[in-house]
Amino acid sequence: MDLLEPTRRAFALLAAGDPRLLEAIWLSFWTSLVAIAIIAPPAVALGFLLAKRRFPGQRPLVVLVQALLSFPTVVIGLLIYLLLSRRGPLGFLELLFTPSAIVFGYVMIAFPILVVFTISAVQGADPRIYETARCLGAGRVRASATTLWEVRFGVAAAVVNGFGRVISEVGAAIMVGGNIEGLTRNIPTAIALETSKGDFAQGIALGMVLMVVALGVNIVLALLQGRLR
Amino acid sequence: MSELAVLLGVRKRFGDRLLFDIERLAIEEGRSYVLTGPNGAGKTTLLRILAGLERADAGEVRVRGAAVYVHQHPYLFHTSLRHNMEYGLRCRGVPAAERRRRAEEAIAWAGLGARRGTPPANLSGGEKQRAALARVRALRPDLMLLDEPTSNLDKEGRAQTLALLAQLRDERRTVIVACHDQEVIALSGLARLHLDEGRIQ
């Protein structure tokens, strides 16, 4: 197969700002950002609690969240589909095949990633942080916030990882979004569709956007971490 | 002089070994103490019990006011030096202007004026120790518990930390310094507590 021609056309599409491309890119970005914004605070808080506090059922909970991490996103999509479908328990919300359904799916996918990465960031925190804060008169909440602040790059890595995972995620997005052009077609679902139609230029162009996103967030993260050390 | 802290029949085990059993220990207000003893005698544990960070297995620990423990390798937050000085004041709800003034005073007291722009993580061991002492002193706690403040420091760092310890003594702060640094032990005007084989002598 000729790779050069579709690649050349992919660049042309990007350069021309093809509206179908831009729509998919815009949808991917805002749904991912909204999902991360919704789930990051509770997921980071839960990750902190699971890392710091001992309570009954804590171990099984950690194992459960870790298991969710390797849960196939198509299955998560299926579950949300059943929840949101007309006859499902949340069917009255009429969210299926809307961008909100995609956000819902992303929230579920990002949740275990953020929790697990936060746990490892907090567990890697110097135990003197919390103790020093408490010695200086901080209450539990402030001392916890201080600990999170001291491991902020680890927490940022959790958030960036969650973002990177959902923006490139195809299984749940296709199941609950429906891949409707102009409404719920985002970058990965468009790549899957265009490729199956044989329109490689669109697929390559969107693929390049995703790769630039992945590269970009990781470069930013590396720079931040480099400054901390 | 009144008693700021009293330990009565305080016992602490470490595994199945009795770490110490202190019949009575009184800390007088406005005095500096040096707590000596071999490694593993329980000096750190004793300080941590006084600070409320650990519990005794038996006995009574009475401390009037706030006791603050300073770790052997103090942790400075990855913010600015001034923010570190203000941290505890912020926790106590000290107003911003007052906080700032006391933080500046603390930086000057530690002799770190020229290092104010340096990220705390990049300070030398001695500078970190002085910053930690100043950070606690700025809170004006009733009892300062300093764990081996001169260990792991070079000659210059030790001399500077020693000078701050002498100042705390002269300011009549109540301080207990755990250490086995001969220079600290030799500081004049320090009451000596020796913890060995589970007893205070």
Residue A97 confidence (pLDDT) above 80: yes
Superfamily covering domain A4-228: MetI-like (1.10.3720.10)
B40 to chain A nearest CA, in Å?
20
Instruction: Answer yes or no: do B74 and A146 touch at CB < 8 A.
Output: no
Domains of chain A by residue range? 4-228
Specify the pLDDT at position B25: 94
Nearest CB to A136 within list B73, B78, B88: B88
Whole-number Å distance between alpha carbons of A81 and A78: 5
Specify the pLDDT at position A224: 67
Phi, psi of B20 (to 5 degrees): -155, 160
**What is the complex's ipTM, to 2 decimals?**
0.91
* C-alpha distances in Å from residue A91, one per residue of A102, A130, A133, B68: 15, 45, 48, 57
pLDDT digits (tens, 9 = 90+) for A149-180: 999 988 988 898 899 899 988 888 888 988 88
Q: Say if B78 is an interface residue toward chain A (CB within 8 Å).
A: yes
SS (H, E, C) chain B: CCEEEEEEEEEEEECCEEEEEEEEEEEECCCEEEEECCCCCCHHHHHHHHCCCCCCCEEEEEECCCEEEECCCCCCCCCCHHHHHHHHHHHCCCCHHHHHHHHHHHHHHCCCHHHCCCCHHHCCHHHHHHHHHHHHHCCCCCEEEEECCCCCCCHHHHHHHHHHHHHHHHCCCCEEEECCCHHHHCCCCCEEEEEECCEEC
Q: Say if A131 is an interface residue toward chain B (CB within 8 Å).
A: yes
Question: pTM here?
Answer: 0.83
| A126 to chain B: closest CA residue | B75
- Could you tell me the domains of chain B? 3-77+137-200 (3.40.50.300)
pLDDT digits (tens, 9 = 90+) for A179-229: 888 898 999 999 989 889 988 998 999 999 999 998 988 887 787 676 554
Burial of A2 (0-12, 13-18, 19+ CB in 10 A): exposed
Nearest CB to B53 within list A126, A131, A139: A131
Whole-number Å distance between alpha carbons of B193 and B50: 14
Residues of chain B with pLDDT under 50: none
B51 to chain A nearest CA, in Å?
8
* C-alpha distances in Å from residue A168, one per residue of A11, A175, A210: 20, 14, 7
